[in-house]
Every structure is written in structure tokens, then in C-alpha cells.
Amino acid sequence: MTSDTTTSPSQGAHGIGTTLAHVGRDPHAHHGFVNTPIYRGSTVLFRTLDQLEGAMCVNTRTGPFVYGLMGHPNSRELETMLARLDGGVGAVVVGSGLAAVSVPLLAFLSAGDHLLMTDSCYGPSRHICTSVLARMGVETTFYDPRAGASIEALLRPKTRVVFLESPGSLSFEVQDVPAIARVCRNRGVTTIIDNTWATPLHFRPIEHGIDVVIHALTKYQSGNSDILLGGVVARDESTWVQLKQTAEAHGHYAHPDDCMQCLRGMRSLEVRLARHESSALAVARWLESRSEVAQVLHPALPSHPDHAIWSRDFRGSSGLFGCVLRPHVGGRAHLKAFLESLRLFGMGFSWGGFESLVVASDIRASRQAAPWTHDGALLRFQIGLEDPRDLISDLTAAFAHAATVV
Ligand SMILES: Cc1ncc(COP(=O)(O)O)c(C=O)c1O
């Protein structure tokens, strides 16, 4: 288990809640107002030529601001918070979680390189590999998310990056991150992980040897389903420079309003995540008792095949999990009746907001290394901040309604 603190050289070790409340703001630089005002702007003015030229040569993480695209006070404060939570040297914020996936791939891969991508990855991450990267001349091999140290056998002389997502956000395999990171570190291969499910509160990949951590800040950090934003955290300085230069070269930008909204959401992240976690566990345990359900895919349940790895490495779980319905229940007509009669669960993509969601997916065609062999429909639940008893009642009624459909 990782520790419940973040460490800053100037402040010593603090509990997560304290870090979330205090990092990324400086009231007395803003007339005492608790939150930093929103700095909208492209142009930054300099009084002298020396100042302008000097600003062009400094690190854009700590030096003077140069141009809105390269960072502004609101992005810098959010990046400070992200780096602190993950224990990295710095972060880069970009306009969506998907941009946070593409920037590190483009930063560390060139024509002729080989990429190992987990077969459990988020669909659009797979698409980047088969479209943009393929066109660039980067070859991707999808690997079994449960490979662990045996991933070594898949490494080639040209393998530059191993990409992880743990747990997979549709299929929920938990990866042996320390084992994979150890192999890659020994072979000089960069490791990148999509850590959106756990957030740094429940899993800190850099402590387990990972080089680059991705967060779709659209989800739990923002917490309200009202913005899109992504963040990438770097383990060391040269990694951060490579990420920042790539993001700038592609014109990536995180709007100050969105950075402010995200940081606002993060102040209450610990409290919200605890509620998502406990409610999701209540609903997941209830689903396990239902005859309509073949399997619940929640890493924190002892029935999950990777529960031991999850218990070893994670501090907690979140509000997202899956379940496979029994084949006769998951037929199209039953599924349609079940999903459309839910009153409290919205049907739609994304997750991490205050409201509960459900989506049905079919991942059988996309899997390459670890075939998906379940016959029944695959559902993914995002459990929001509602009363879990109401959610269970809603699901009970929907199962009852679906059972009436011939
Ligand atoms: C695991 C994971 N990573 C990244 C993303 C992309 O985030 P965004 O929707 O902000 O582009 C998502 C979106 O659902 C996701 O589920």
C-alpha cells in the first residue's frame, strides 16, 4: 500500500486532504482572495527587451510567463497540484484526457519504433495506435494486460514505450505495474500509464517505477461532467521537458476557466472519491447477489481475479466497475428494456461526475492479445454521489421490468 501523504521539500509530509486544500493557490499574491482569479489571455507584455529575451530562455514551469499557449497562472497552479499528488517533477495540462494520452506517445515515439500497448486500453487510445502512430511508421503490439514480468519476451530492440492502463476502464484487469516497470527500467524503455481510474489518491505509479502518468481530469478531478481536461505527470526533468515541448509544438492548450474549475473540483476530491468508492462497492456487492449477473468486475472485490495485486498496490478503489450479464439476460431486447427503464442512471460516456451512468460495450472484436470470451453483455457502471439505496432500487426495478420482456 502507498502512503497517505504527499511530500514537498518546503512543507514536509502532509495528508492528502491538506495538500488538496492548500497546494496550487497563493491568496496574498491576489489581494487575499482565497482562489486565484482566472487569467484569460494570449499576449504577455514585457517592459524591456532584456526581460522579453530572458523570458524566452527560461523553464516555462517556474520562470516568467511568456505567452498564453505556453502556460498561465491557472495552468501552472493545476500542474503544481498534479505533480505534487503524483510525486513527479512537473506536469503538463492539455485540453482533454485523450490529448493527455496522445502527447506522451508522440513525445517518446518516432518512425521505426515499436510500442507495446495493453489490450485493455481505452478505445480511443487503441485508435491512436492503429491510425496516427501507424501512419507515422510506429508499430504497435497489443499485449495481455496480465503479462507482468513476462512482458520482457515481447520487448524488441526497437521497443521504446510500454503503455499501461490499470485497471482497464472497460474490462478491469489490474496490471502488475511494479513488475512491468522493473523490466522496462532495466531495458531503458519508457513506461506510460493511464491512471484515470484510481487517481493519485489511490495509486501513485511513479512510486512503482513508472515514468509518465496520464489523468483524464475530465473525470474525478473535475467531478461535475462539465469540462474536458487532461494532465500528464513526469517522473524526472528530462521527461517533463520532452512532454512540454511536444505539447507546445502541437499547440495544446488548457483553458484557464477549465483549469480553475478542475482545481476547484480537486479541493473536494478526497471526500467525493470516498463516497464514490463506498457506494460503488455497495452496488457491486449487491449485483454479485443477483441471478441476472454472471460476474462483477470490480478489483476491490475478493472475487476479482486480480484482487491480490490490487490489494498490494492500491490505496482504494473508485466509482467505476463492470459486470457481465448472463447470456439469456443480456439479449438485445432484455438489455434495451433494462437500460431504458433506469431512472437514476444516465446512459452515456465518460465517468467521474456526481451522477451515475451505465453503458453497454462489446469489446470482443477489438481485443488482440487477450480475447474477451464472455458471452453475456458487458456493462460499465459509474456510481455517482446519489444514495446507493436509491441506485439499488432503480436497478431492482429495471431488472424486474426487463424480466417481463419476452
Ligand atoms: C481511461 C480513460 N482515459 C482517457 C480518457 C479520455 O478522457 P477525455 O474524455 O477527457 O478525453 C477516458 C475517457 O473516457 C478514459 O476512460
Give the chain's domain count.
2
The pLDDT assigned to 4 comes to 56
Q: Which residues contact 91 (CB under 8 A, 6 or more apart)?
A: 78, 79, 80, 82, 83, 231, 232, 233, 234, 240
CATH number, position 48: 3.40.640.10
Q: Three cell numbers at 288? A: 454479485
N-terminal to C-terminal alpha carbon distance within the chain: 48
User: Rounded to the nearest whole angstrom, what is the distance from the C-alpha of residue 230 to the centroid of ligand 1?
Assistant: 8
The pLDDT assigned to 406 comes to 65
Range(s) of the domain holding residue 200: 5-267
Most informative mutation of 218, 222, 349, 361 for ligand 1 (most atoms within 8 A of CB): 218
pTM across the whole model:
0.97
Same domain, 273 and 239: no
User: Rounded to the nearest whole angstrom, what is the distance from the C-alpha of residue 397 to the centroid of ligand 1?
Assistant: 30
CA neighbor of 383 nearest in space, from 298, 305, 314? 298
- Look at residues 267, 291, 326 and tell me which one is the last residue of a structural domain: 267
User: Rounded to the nearest whole angstrom, what is the distance from the C-alpha of residue 164 to the centroid of ligand 1?
Assistant: 14
- Look at residues 239, 267, 295 and tell me which one is the last residue of a structural domain: 267
Same domain, 211 and 234: yes
Cα separations in angstroms, 115 against 174, 205, 211, 241: 20, 19, 15, 21
CA neighbor of 84 nearest in space, from 9, 188, 1, 179? 9
Task: Establish whether the linkage from the previous residue to 167 is cis, with ω within 30° of 0.
Answer: yes
Q: Three cell numbers at 126? A: 487503441
Largest CA distance in the chain: 78
Same domain, 251 and 283: no
Residue nearest to ligand 1 atom 10, measured at CA: 97
Q: How many whole angstroms separate alpha carbon 342 and alpha carbon 348?
A: 13
Q: How many whole angstroms separate alpha carbon 83 and alpha carbon 93?
A: 11
Q: How many whole angstroms separate alpha carbon 208 and alpha carbon 95?
A: 27
Among the atoms of ligand 1, which is closest to the Cα of residue 350?
Answer: 14
Same domain, 201 and 300: no
How far, in whole angstroms, is CA 86 from its chain's centroid? Answer: 12
Q: How many whole angstroms separate alpha carbon 372 and alpha carbon 171?
A: 9
The pLDDT assigned to 9 comes to 41
pLDDT in tens, the chain (406 residues): 334 566 544 445 899 999 999 999 999 999 999 999 999 999 999 999 999 999 988 877 888 999 999 999 999 999 999 999 999 999 999 999 999 999 999 999 999 999 999 999 999 999 999 999 999 999 999 999 999 999 999 999 999 999 999 999 999 999 999 999 999 999 999 999 999 999 999 999 999 999 999 999 999 999 999 999 999 999 999 999 999 999 999 999 999 999 999 999 999 999 999 999 999 999 999 999 999 999 999 999 999 999 999 999 999 999 999 999 998 776 889 999 999 999 999 999 999 999 999 999 999 999 999 999 998 999 999 999 999 999 999 999 999 999 998 6
